Structure 1
Amino acid sequence: LYNTLDIIRWEAMYEAEGESAVTQMIEKFSRLCRMGMRTGGNTITLKEGIEHARTYLDVINFRHREKIQLEIDMQADEEAIYIPQFMLQPIMENAVVHAFDDGSSGYRIVIRACITGADLQITVRDNGKGMSREEVDQLTANMERTDVADENIGLVNVYQRIRLFYGDACGIGITSRLGEGTEIRITLPVRKHSENMEKSKGEEDGIQSFNCR
């Protein structure tokens, strides 16, 4: 796959006599594929997670004249903290597809991270159309289920995967208002090394639990 993409990219560069929007799209998409097929432990550094999210938005923005803006606020050592793979990108995809209605005019996503005691707190906030209280309650309830509609599957997968890794020592909270946007709050126990994590790991470490609400 990578070799084929490289051949297409070089052919496009030859035709365009240098870099073009098409060659940049191919390069970004190839990078996104490599990130998605990363092998090894099932956790990555927070820095890699942010780069995955940034690359995903770069690919999405190729089709928008007015780009969706991404703001990053890291108050943690992003090279020393590890998070599960594929955690941030599905949440951003929810914002792009549902909160922004596939548009981009004036839209923004803000990712913040900080450490509070033994917990890593990550928030992903968008300024999209938001949800009603009933929609938030339904989405929160759906995170405990496996038979959910396609539009909720990304966030449900993230929630169930981190629960598999950390047990009750993690959680996701949702805050949203119609016309004002949505904020997803993720709480994870701090991890400073990559590992294939098991459900009992957080319980063995005695880290205080955080319940979704």
Structure 2
Amino acid sequence: WHMVGVSKGDTPSLHNWKTRSFILFLLAFFLNAMMLINFYVSRKVTEPMHRLEGAVKRIQAGDLNTKIQASGVYEIQNLSNAIEEMERNLKQLMEDIVQEHEAKRKSDLMVLQNQINPHFLYNTLDVIVWMIENEKSGDAVKAVTALARFFRISLSRGKTVIPVSDEVEHVRNYLMIQEMRFKNKFTYQFDVKEETKQLGTVKLILQPLVENAIYHAMEFMDDDGELTVKGYLEGEELVLSVTDNGCGMTKERAEALLRGDFVQTGKGSGVGLRNVQERIQLVFGEKYGLRILSEPDEGTCVEIHLPAIPYEEMKERGMVS
């Protein structure tokens, strides 16, 4: 192919430097214009995409309150609206799961707390009848009063968390009744620090420990049993403990008790250490629970570790229900 241009001598020529400069200027102008248009179009598409990508990453990280700005071209706006709708559905689903988990937790807690059988009540009523028949009305009144206080705190208007002072009073009434049943069988004492009494605790966790000490730890003892109930602060934790001078146990048996593998006799309420452990962890999490310090023929100390949170603060958090 050949291109031939014919022009008069006095017309502009491609060989003229002015003409060449003008053509180069036009080419540069159109090239810059195209670059600007391309930059504008790319920015119109990529910036909303980058914002949308950042929003999706925040949602992925767990921030379900991320605001998604629907901007850019039509397709990106539709995608943004779809992701925003997905975020709302995910948030609602999470709330439903939390509510369902809370309901299950409360249900499990009530089931565990209701595992106390009437064995203790029957025996106590037998003792009261025996006192009345033997004209020991003063002791009978004392036993009935202790029993009434025992069950008043046991009910606690359906609450699962109560002040430490109430929990200590509950086990004190229990020990008063048991002392009447087992005359001269054991002695007990309390050493609960004043600063712990207004902290919160899961109810009915000390009494099963004391019950185990009476029925199992001191069952085969020749001498009198000794029980000590303590409450004190250890750093940011509340520690409640029950110590006995009974026969003790091996480390393997202690671990089996906490797992619920060790089958106890039919004495007592039937509430094992595993029950107490599960109820504590349902309320406060797996970080807290029981620790058993024991050696054969050296006695046993069962510690309850809880967060040191005031009872009133627990009420404000909605933990008391």
Percent identity at matched positions? 27
Identify the residue that residue 163 of structure 2 maps to in structure 1: 45
CA deviation string 1:71-110 (max 9, x = no partner): 2122352432111110100110011111111879421111
The answer to whether 1:181 aligns with 2:181 is no
> Does the 8 A contact of 1:176 with 1:182 survive in 2?
yes
CA deviation string 1:161-191 (max 9, x = no partner): 0000011231211111122211111111112
Identify the residue that residue 100 of structure 1 maps to in structure 2: 218
Written as runs of structure 1 = structure 2, the 5 A alignment for 1:79-98 is 79-98=197-216
Identify the residue that residue 237 of structure 2 maps to in structure 1: 119
* TM-score normalised over the length of structure 1: 0.74
Query: Aligned equivalents of 1:32 and 1:166: distance in 2?
Result: 25
Q: Aligned-pair RMSD on alpha carbons? A: 2.9
Identify the residue that residue 149 of structure 1 maps to in structure 2: 263
> Does the 8 A contact of 1:126 with 1:181 survive in 2?
yes
> Does the 8 A contact of 1:66 with 1:104 survive in 2?
no
> Does the 8 A contact of 2:221 with 2:247 survive in 1?
no
Change (3 A) 1:60 1:104: farther
The answer to whether 1:197 aligns with 2:319 is yes
Q: Of the two, which has the highest radius of gyration? A: 2
Match of 2:286, SS?
A: helix
Total equivalences in the alignment: 184
Q: CA deviation at 1:153?
A: 4.0
Change (3 A) 1:90 1:50: same
> Does the 8 A contact of 2:196 with 2:232 survive in 1?
no
Report the AA paired with residue 263 of structure 2: A
Query: Aligned equivalents of 1:75 and 1:37: distance in 2?
Result: 25
Which structure has the highest helix share of the two?
2
Change (3 A) 1:63 1:134: same
> Does the 8 A contact of 2:259 with 2:274 survive in 1?
no
Report the AA paired with residue 141 of structure 1: R
Query: Aligned equivalents of 1:182 and 1:138: distance in 2?
Result: 15
Change (3 A) 1:58 1:104: farther
Which structure has the highest strand share of the two?
1
> Which structure's relative contact order is higher, taking Cα pairs within 8 Å and 6+ residues apart?
1
> Does the 8 A contact of 1:100 with 1:128 survive in 2?
yes
Query: Aligned equivalents of 2:258 and 2:156: distance in 1?
Result: 30
CA deviation string 1:90-145 (max 9, x = no partner): 11001111111187942111122221222112221111111123312322333xx7
Report the AA paired with residue 190 of structure 2: I
The answer to whether 1:159 aligns with 2:277 is yes
Q: Which of these residues, 162, 167, 183, is aligned with residue 65 of structure 1?
A: 183
- Worse-matched range after superposition: 125-134 or 22-31: 22-31
CA deviation string 1:1-53 (max 9, x = no partner): xxxx9xx99xx5xx95x942222222222221222122153211111111111
Report the AA paired with residue 259 of structure 2: A
Match of 2:228, SS?
A: strand
Match of 1:175, SS?
A: strand
> Does the 8 A contact of 1:173 with 1:185 survive in 2?
yes
Query: Aligned equivalents of 1:103 and 1:55: distance in 2?
Result: 24
> Does the 8 A contact of 1:70 with 1:108 survive in 2?
yes
Change (3 A) 1:137 1:197: same
